[in-house]
Amino acid sequence: MARLPAGPYDCLVRRLAAWAAGLSPQAQDLALALALAAYNVGAMIPETGQLRLPGVTFPMAVLQTLPLTWRRRWPVGVLLAVGLFRTVEDNIGGFEPLYLASLIAYYTVMDRSSTRVRVVISVLMLAGIIRALSLPGHNMSSDFPIIAMEVVTAGMAGIISRTRRAYLQEAQARADRAEAVRHRDVALAAAQERATIARELHDVVAHHVSLIAVQSDAAATLLPGQPVQAVKHVEVIGQTAREAMGELRRLLGVLRTPASAGRQPPDTAPLPSVSQLGKVLDQVREAGISVDLRVEGSTARLAPAVDLAAYRIVQEALTNTVRHSGADKAAVTLRYEPGYVTVSVTDTGHGPAAAARPQGTGSTLTPRSGGFGLAGMAERVASCGGSLTIGPGQAGGFAVTARLPAP
């Protein structure tokens, strides 16, 4: 169905509505008060000859609308002021076709006041209507139902507006709480991801750099007298550095996405696994420490997180052995049990790590040289739901034992 073209009146109404929407709430109320005042005066002009005191009636018709300017700030006071000027006008025999100012003020009270205030004002409103209709010139039986219906409609409109505003506020509060929870979860996830990346970087860099440092010291002691043996150590340094670069490339690769890089993400190697411990043990042996690996029980497939945690625990424990213990022997044990896998690394050293003070099962001890390795172990074990024991071994040296859940 085709719409009829808008007439001049419709265009005027739209322009006035757009203009009013751009005003502040108090400016809107002032415009409403002035419009009602103009309407009251315009409606009374044809009846001027019937007014007893037109010099008082006209000002009262204007004064009863002007308080509406502050109706949102002081609803009760505005209603009382409007009622006062309206009562004066009724007592001097004024003429006004509509009670718009009183109805708007009553609507505002019902919209913005407490329940007790609304009840009291409603009782006073009823008493005022009854008194006004008892004055000469009014018919109680015919006017009361109409005026009562107008007042009830204004009051219900105020209650509905109040309920709707409360609902919108509650909905906004729920949305704000949900947004706050979402931001908190995102921040927590980001913090956990940063901690995971920091642990991975620490384990990769600390292990390989420690081995490079040991091999470098060995090469330096062989030069210039034994260049052939020194070359072997230098070759180990190069191989270790290349492996470190490969693992760093893998870690950095998982952080890159096609959206950020503008192309497909780089290929990444599989996550390290306990099945690859042989390479770590060979590197430690090349650093001059004899390492034995013992597997007990039936080998079981581990969850990726547990598999990676077990690998990193062995790697970090052996790195500490190389850096701090001064040991010449170490032992790695993987014990598979129903529902668990136990990873144990012991050495025969007497360095700062072995001298750390024991604190019991499940504790984390920090070597005197400081660092984040042992703290990273504790975080890995806790993330898998396992337990960690760190301290001097039963036969001397230092021992790291982690019990991790396994299917």
The confidence score (pLDDT) of residue 259 equals 47
Cβ-defined contacts of 184-187 (< 8 Å, 24+): none
Report strand pairing: 290-296 vs 329-337.
Answer: parallel
Q: Does domain 290-407 have CATH number 3.30.565.10?
A: yes
Q: Which of 174-188, 207-221, 275-289 has the lowest mean pLDDT?
A: 207-221
pLDDT tens digit sequence for 288-319: 888 899 998 888 888 888 888 888 888 888 88
Q: Which of 78-82, 96-100, 162-166, 315-319 has the lowest mean pLDDT?
A: 96-100
**Percentage of residues in the chain having pLDDT higher than 90:** 11
Q: What is the 3-state secondary structure (H, E, C) of the chain?
A: CCCCCCCHHHHHHHHHHHHHHCCCHHHHHHHHHHHHHHHHHHHHHHHHHHCCCHHHHHHHHHHCCHHHHHCCCCHHHHHHHHHHHHHHHHHCCCCCCCCHHHHHHHHHHHHHCCHHHHHHHHHHHHHHHHHHHCCCCCCHHHHHHHHHHHHHHHHHHHHHHHHHHHHHHHHHHHHHHHHHHHHHHHHHHHHHHHHHHHHHHHHHHHHHHHHHHHHHHHHHHHCCCCHHHHHHHHHHHHHHHHHHHHHHHHHHHHCCCHHHHCCCCCCCCCCCCHHHHHHHHHHHHHCCCEEEEEEECCCCCCCHHHHHHHHHHHHHHHHHHHHHHCCCEEEEEEEEECCEEEEEEEECCCCCCCCCCCCCCCCCCCCCCCCCHHHHHHHHHHHHCCEEEEEECCCCCEEEEEEEECC
Would you say residue 324 has pLDDT above 80? no
Task: Kindly report the average pLDDT of the chain as a whole number.
Answer: 77
| pTM recorded for the entire structure | 0.49
Domain ranges of the chain: 9-138, 290-407
pLDDT tens digit sequence for 156-210: 999 999 999 999 999 999 999 999 998 898 888 877 777 777 777 777 776 677 7
**Bigger pLDDT: 361 or 2?**
2
Would you say residue 25 has pLDDT above 80? yes
**Percentage of residues in the chain having pLDDT higher than 70:** 78
* Residue found under tokens 């390479």: 279
The confidence score (pLDDT) of residue 177 equals 92
**Bigger pLDDT: 13 or 14?**
14
pLDDT confidence band for 370 (50 / 70 / 90): very low
Q: Which of 104-108, 144-148, 334-338, 347-351 has the lowest mean pLDDT?
A: 347-351
